[in-house]
Structure 1
Amino acid sequence: MPPTHHLTAWDDPATRRAWAKLVTCAFLGQALWPAVWLGLLAWYVVMSISWTLWLFFVPLLYTFYRAFLQPAYISGAFHTRRLLRAYPWQVFKEPESGIGDIPGATAGDVWLRFPDPEQPAETLPMILQAHVRSMWWRRRLGRGYTTEKTAQVREVWFAGDPRFAAVVAAPGPRRFHVIRQRPTNDRGVAHVRGASPAAVERARRAGVCPPDPNSTTS
């Protein structure tokens, strides 16, 4: 059962253990991926004959990509912790999800809907951005039918505010993934959508930067 009785998700020991594993893997990747790339490059230079170009091109390209991407994994882990420290876990059984067909989504975008905390009858979609860290979720959501994979996200743990940002997790918790409300104004941040001052301040403590409610920028 999820630790919904805690004031924040971070108060749960299992959540802290899962986050420690996440950040450890992020730091290990920061050390290992560049080392693997340099090792492959050195091996290619030493063994430089024509056929090795094709043998090493894909591994070199992939390891360089992962080495370049790894700092974002580290910053993402610490953003995850800020959200977990600010919000409690909520559990949603079979939350509505889909692919495309909502405003702001392209044909291949996967999305989830969660209730507005201040207007529970209204739900807000949050679109999963397409990148390596979202692949596990994208392969299991929005299918409209049940498979062994989609059954793994029949229950979704949620810590955050759908008007701003949140951490979603598979039961456990595991497979932490940060999702954000899509930017809707020229400063690259989501509208407050009628959130109370307390909700806006909580989002700021969680590392989100909602617009100033007193701003006239739309």
Structure 2
Amino acid sequence: MSASHPPTAWDDPDSRSAWTKLFTWAVLGQVLWPLICVGTLLLIVGPEWPVWLCFVPLLYSAYRTVLQYRYFTEAFQIRRILREYAWQVFATPESGIGGVPGAKSGDVWLKLPNPERSDDLVAMILHGHVRSPWWRRRLGPGVKPQRKAQVAEIWFAGDVRFAGVLAVPGPGRLFLLYQRPDNGPRFRRDVHEAADEALHRARRAGVRI
């Protein structure tokens, strides 16, 4: 990581700009998807539109309306992490699909070093939602070289044992990563072995341990 990086990611104006963009899209989605859902429903009850033509957009807009609340909560969680941790820069981190604790057969993951033991790599799974496909198409085996090059260097703010924010240089494509307590003994061991300051810092960032 360059010495020019500020003490926390939030101190970087570009990071705040990237978060504002993320939050703006969350707000727009919260407004637009319900409007689309209601508008499609009104078309269905009207006599001039066939029901089958509106059925798919009605279901999808209703699904996105319900899902949109998660984008709000994740946006604020991302902000808390950016305010607590600095960006770390990693070149070509190890990644794959399935085969690690807590990952299903199609789950993409990447490994980053334990902040207290750099030789210990910890896997973080990209739990799926609408923003995850961009990352999923660029991490793991069998990815086209031009796409793989887009994540040859990544930025990470957080503690890989608990939660963090993934980004491409800039930063851009902010993506929340978090460990699930039900992933098994690895999570419990990391909590047990983590220094008190690391645990306090994670809690200040809004991570539930």
**TM-score by structure 1 length?**
0.88
Shift in Å at residue 5 of structure 1?
2.1
For each residue in 1:122-168, what CA deviation from the matched residue of structure 2 results, as whole angstroms up to 9, or x when unmatched?
Answer: 11000111222211111111024542222211111000001100000
Aligned partner of 1:113 in structure 2 is 111
Do the aligned partners of 2:78 and 2:165 also contact (CA within 8 Å) in 1?
yes
Do the aligned partners of 1:14 and 1:173 also contact (CA within 8 Å) in 2?
yes
SS at match of 2:124: strand
Q: Distance in 2 between matches of 1:144 and 1:114?
A: 20
Aligned partner of 1:86 in structure 2 is 84
SS at match of 1:167: strand
What are the equivalent positions in structure 2 for 1:29-178 lying under 5 Å apart?
Answer: 29-47=29-47, 52-178=50-176
Aligned partner of 1:198 in structure 2 is 197
Q: Distance in 2 between matches of 1:175 and 1:130?
A: 14
One-letter code of the match for 2:108?
Answer: V
Q: Distance in 1 between matches of 2:3 and 2:56?
A: 43
Shift in Å at residue 19 of structure 1?
0.5
For each residue in 1:102-140, what CA deviation from the matched residue of structure 2 results, as whole angstroms up to 9, or x when unmatched?
Answer: 222221110010000000111100011122221111111
Shift in Å at residue 97 of structure 1?
0.3
Q: Distance in 1 between matches of 2:108 and 2:171?
A: 21
SS at match of 1:184: helix
One-letter code of the match for 1:140?
Answer: R
One-letter code of the match for 2:201?
Answer: R
Deviates more, 1:131-140 or 1:90-99: 131-140
- What count of residue pairs does the alignment treat as equivalent? 206
Quick one: structure 1 residues 9 and 3, their matched pair in 2 at CA, closer, same or farther if it must change by over 3 Å?
A: farther
Quick one: structure 1 residues 131 and 2, their matched pair in 2 at CA, closer, same or farther if it must change by over 3 Å?
A: farther
Do the aligned partners of 2:101 and 2:183 also contact (CA within 8 Å) in 1?
no
For each residue in 1:62-89, what CA deviation from the matched residue of structure 2 results, as whole angstroms up to 9, or x when unmatched?
Answer: 1111111111101110000000001000
Aligned partner of 2:14 in structure 1 is 14
Q: Distance in 1 between matches of 2:26 and 2:57?
A: 20
Deviates more, 1:57-66 or 1:39-48: 39-48
Shift in Å at residue 43 of structure 1?
1.2
One-letter code of the match for 1:134?
Answer: S
Shift in Å at residue 4 of structure 1?
5.5
Higher helix residue share: 2
Quick one: structure 1 residues 185 and 141, their matched pair in 2 at CA, closer, same or farther if it must change by over 3 Å?
A: closer
SS at match of 2:145: coil
Q: Distance in 1 between matches of 2:133 and 2:93?
A: 18
One-letter code of the match for 2:79?
Answer: R
**TM-score by structure 2 length?**
0.92
Uncovered stretches (5+) of structure 2, i.e. residues with no partner? none
C-alpha RMSD of the superposition: 2.0
One-letter code of the match for 1:37?
Answer: C
